[in-house]
Amino acid sequence: MGPGSDTLDEVKGNMLGWSSLSFLDLEMHHHRWTGATLGRWGGSVKNGKTDYVSGYHPLFLIAKAVARIRQQPYFFGSIALLWGYLIAYLENMPRVDDPALIRYLRSQQMAKLMGRETIWK
């Protein structure tokens, strides 16, 4: 697949009744931040496009952008995220071809926005 496929793999697994684990005793050290090759603006735009292709609900994306205002690059990262999603929408980029997965993902996202229990802790 492509960017965002790890998230979709986990969501699909959960949709099928599987669970995943995190191993807190394993440490990872990144030598540069995610998206560094595209710069901060380009990386955030790419994330917005990835969220569109993954089938994110628009309201969830807006909430994600609002939450990211407090992270570097302040404000501009949120605008870039929204811009990437909008570009992908306007270009009619192909989405993941799994309507059931997108419905499940969106239902989980909306539950998260409503403060209900979701697959995310």
What are the extents of the domains in the chain? 38-121
For every one of its 121 residues, what pLDDT tens digit does the chain have, with 9 covering 90 and above?
456 678 888 899 999 999 888 888 998 887 766 656 777 889 899 999 999 999 999 999 999 999 999 888 789 999 999 999 999 999 999 999 999 999 999 999 999 999 999 988 7
**C-beta separation of 98 from 12 below 8 A:** yes
* CA–CA dist 101, 15 (Å, integer): 7
> How far, rounded to the nearest angstrom, does the alpha carbon of residue 100 sit from its chain's CA centroid?
17
Entry pTM = 0.85
Q: What's the pLDDT at 120? A: 80
* CA–CA dist 74, 10 (Å, integer): 29
